[in-house]
């Protein structure tokens, strides 16, 4: 077993019970202290660890990673080194922060330069995103949306169980948790009228998703097999693909989503590696009809990750409105990446591939407002007496996620976004 994920490991950095970031997690992110330049970091408990400072003080010398790679505004150049390097770094960090290791623990001067309370740093986009693909891999979500937009008899398109359906999204509008987004304006369904309406959208929605970030580049013409796909996946983040349902409904035929989904997508700041998620592998649903050979795979590539959505109305406390699990996806990450590249489409380091909205069977586990309120017909009621059919101005949507097993909890932190009135 990989000893970095031994549930018995403890750090000399304080970690509270049920914290998302025990010493077994060791996620990667980019942060910034006021007035300083951004740097690569990891995190244990509520302490952020400056990898650039750690490298400059020669604490991670045996990884042979050039300190300068941690002194950049994104992780792309570090990720380029490959999984062998990031694994070596994980092992080195696990050893350095293990409770029995005095090397940095007892060096108070160096600790001051290397460690910061998480509330004193600003989290930045961890990667420069080149391309973004949004899959549609939850059968329940696809069925729910097909039923609401079309009808129950034609909910799932005939291709759905043969192809991990997806569209190419917009990378420029992917933002880090905490970035507010203005309500978009656009053209919406005229319904019975002869010309469409235009204005701030009325059906603003979230989509609860998990995305993987690629850690390798390929050449145009190359494909990645399901067997090799995980080697090209650096890690996972939470992903909120904000959606304007009224724009989407009017524009999506025949080419799919466009302005209804490219005005803001929000990611959680820490990239959780597949190494940290290893204990939480699980099998997915049986795939019937059988998939074509290029989509067949061996092993378990689903992950048992609890996912939650909270909605915070202005002046009120946040309330949980959905609870589901990442294993509610039909197509797994290796099938998604194999499908993305089977035609020779090249990929780059830092690309984002999102799962699509993740909905379970139970209505309390639906991953979007349009499903939870069934097209706006069944409003969600809040303790203060308010109701929501869709997201209103000044509401905050917060996604959280964590895996838990045998006393080990690996979490994602959160992806939070406040909606501001239309510009
Ligand atoms: Ca989506």
Q: Got the DSSP string for 175-228?
A: EETT--EEPPEEEE--TTSSS-EEEE-S-EE--EEEEEEE-----TT----HHH
Centre of ligand 1 to C-alpha 71, Å, is 33
| CA distance linking residue 262 with residue 23, whole number of Å | 36
Which 3-state string (H, E, C) describes 344-391?
CCCCCCCCEEECCCCCCCCHHHCCCHHHHCCCCCCCEECCCCCEECCC
Q: CATH topology of 3-123 equal to that of 132-420?
A: no
CB distance 114 to 104 below 8 Å: yes
Q: Phi, psi at residue 174, to the nearest 5°?
A: -85, 125
* pLDDT band with cut points at 50, 70 and 90 for residue 157: very high
**In this structure, are strands 181-182 and 408-420 parallel, antiparallel, or unpaired?**
parallel
For residue 192, is pLDDT > 90? no
For ligand 1, the distance from its centroid to the CA atom of residue 259, given in whole angstroms, is 13
Over residues 228-258, the pLDDT tens digits come to 999 999 999 999 999 999 999 999 999 999 9
Q: What share of the chain is helix, strand, coil (3-state, %, to 5)?
A: 25, 30, 50
Q: C-alpha distances in angstroms, 300 versus 191, 259, 281, 327, 335?
A: 46, 36, 6, 11, 12
d(CA 256, ligand 1 centre) in Å:
11
Distance CA 161, CA 142 (A): 11
State pLDDT tens for residues 70-111.
Answer: 999 999 999 999 999 999 999 999 999 999 999 999 999 999
Distance 212 CA to ligand 1 centre (A): 13
Count the alpha carbons within 13 Å of 177 in the hemisphere toward its beta carbon.
Answer: 24
The Å distance, Cα 296 to ligand 1 centre, comes to 24
Ligand 1: distance of its center to the CA of 134 in Å? 5
Ligand 1 centroid–CA 243 distance in Å is 8
Average pLDDT (270-298) is 97
How much distance in Å is there from the Cα of 118 to the middle of ligand 1?
30
For residue 42, what pLDDT band results from cuts at 50, 70 and 90? very high
pLDDT for 189 equals: 85
How far does residue 146's CA lie from ligand 1's centre (Å)?
A: 14
Ranges of each domain in the chain: 3-123, 132-420
Q: Measured between alpha carbons, how far is 15 from 420 in angstroms, rounded to an integer?
A: 35
Q: How far apart are CA 151 and CA 137, in angstroms?
A: 19
| pTM beyond 0.85 | yes
Which two tokens mark 340?
Answer: 């993305």
pLDDT at residue 194, as a whole number: 87
Q: Distances in Å between the alpha carbon of 204 and those of 43, 72, 108, 281, 404?
A: 33, 35, 49, 34, 32
Rounded to the nearest angstrom, the distance between the alpha carbon of 211 and the centre of ligand 1 is: 10
- Arithmetic mean of pLDDT, 166-173: 97
Alpha carbon distance 135, 340 (integer Å): 10
pLDDT-based confidence at residue 14 (cuts at 50, 70, 90): very high
Evaluate if residue 1 carries a pLDDT over 90. no
Quote the CA–CA distance of 138 and 121 in Å, as a whole number.
35
Residue 136: the pLDDT is 96
CATH class of the domain comprising 132-420: alpha beta
| pLDDT reading at 150 higher than 90 | no
- Round to whole Å and give the CA distance between 180 and 300: 37
Ramachandran assignment for 205, one of left (phi > 0), alpha (psi -120 to 50 degrees), beta (any other): beta
Q: Which one is the CATH code of 3-123: 3.40.1280.10, 3.90.1150.10, 2.30.30.230, 3.30.110.40?
A: 2.30.30.230
162 noted as active-site residue = no
| pLDDT computed for residue 314 by the predictor | 97
What average pLDDT does the chain have?
97
Please pick, among 107, 141, 162, 302, the residue that the annotation labels catalytic. 141
Statement: residue 139 has pLDDT above 80: yes
Average pLDDT over residues 358-369: 97
Cα of 29 vs centre of ligand 1, distance in Å, is 23
Which residues hold their Cβ within 5 A of ligand 1, which is an ion? 134, 207, 241
Q: Output the CA 120–ligand 1 centroid distance in Å.
A: 32
Distance 286 CA to ligand 1 centre (A): 23
- What is the DSSP track for 288-352? SSPPPGGG---S--EE--EEEEEEE-TTS--EEEEEEEGGG-SS-HHHHHHHHHTT-----TT-E
Torsion of CA 49, 50, 55, 59, to 10 degrees: -20
Q: Sorting pLDDT into bands at 50, 70 and 90, what band is 5?
A: very high
Q: pLDDT value at position 72?
A: 98
pLDDT for the residue 315: 95
- pLDDT > 90? residue 190: no
């Amino acid at each position: 077993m990989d000893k970095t994920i031994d549930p018995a490991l403890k750090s000399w950095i304080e970690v509270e019970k049920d914290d998302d970031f025990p010493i077994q997690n060791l996620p990667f992110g980019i942060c910034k202290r006021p007035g300083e330049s951004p740097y690569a970091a990891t995190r244990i408990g509520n302490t952020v660890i400056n990898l650039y400072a750690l490298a400059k003080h020669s604490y991670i010398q045996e990884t042979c990673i050039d300190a300068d790679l941690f002194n950049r505004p994104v992780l792309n150049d570090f990720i380029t080194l490959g999984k062998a390097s990031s694994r070596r770094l994980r092992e080195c960090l696990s050893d350095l922060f293990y409770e029995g290791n005095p090397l940095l623990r007892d060096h108070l001067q160096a600790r001051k330069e290397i460690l910061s309370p998480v509330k004193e740093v600003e989290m930045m986009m961890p990667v420069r995103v080149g391309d973004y693909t949004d899959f549609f891999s939850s059968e329940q979500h696809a069925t729910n949306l097909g039923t609401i937009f079309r009808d129950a008899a034609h909910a799932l398109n005939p291709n759905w169980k043969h192809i991990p359906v997806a569209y190419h999204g917009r990378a420029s509008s992917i933002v880090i948790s905490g970035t507010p987004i203005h309500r978009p304006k656009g053209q919406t369904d005229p319904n019975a009228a002869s010309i469409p309406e235009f204005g701030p959208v009325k059906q603003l929605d979230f989509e609860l998703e998990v995305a993987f970030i690629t850690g390798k580049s390929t050449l145009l013409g190359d494909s990645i097999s399901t067997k090799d796909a995980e080697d090209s996946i650096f890690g996972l983040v939470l992903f909120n693909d904000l959606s304007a349902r009224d724009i989407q409904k009017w524009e999506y035929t025949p080419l799919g989503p466009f302005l209804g989904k490219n005005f803001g997508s929000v990611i959680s700041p820490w990239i959780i590696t597949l190494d940290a998620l290893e204990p939480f592998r699980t099998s997915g649903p049986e795939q019937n009809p059988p998939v074509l050979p290029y989509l067949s795979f061996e092993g378990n590539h689903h992950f048992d990750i609890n996912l939650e959505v909270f909605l915070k109305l202005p002046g009120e406390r946040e309330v949980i409105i959905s609870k589901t699990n990442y294993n509610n996806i039909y197509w797994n990450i290796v099938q998604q990446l194999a499908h993305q590249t089977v035609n020779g489409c090249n990929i780059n380091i830092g690309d984002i591939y999102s799962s699509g909205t993740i909905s379970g069977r139970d209505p309390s586990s639906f991953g979007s407002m349009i499903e939870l309120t069934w097209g706006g017909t069944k409003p969600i009621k809040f303790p203060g007496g308010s109701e929501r059919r869709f997201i209103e101005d000044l509401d905050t949507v917060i996604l959280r996620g964590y895996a838990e097993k045998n006393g080990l909890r690996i979490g994602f932190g959160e992806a939070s976004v406040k909606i501001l009135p239309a510009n």
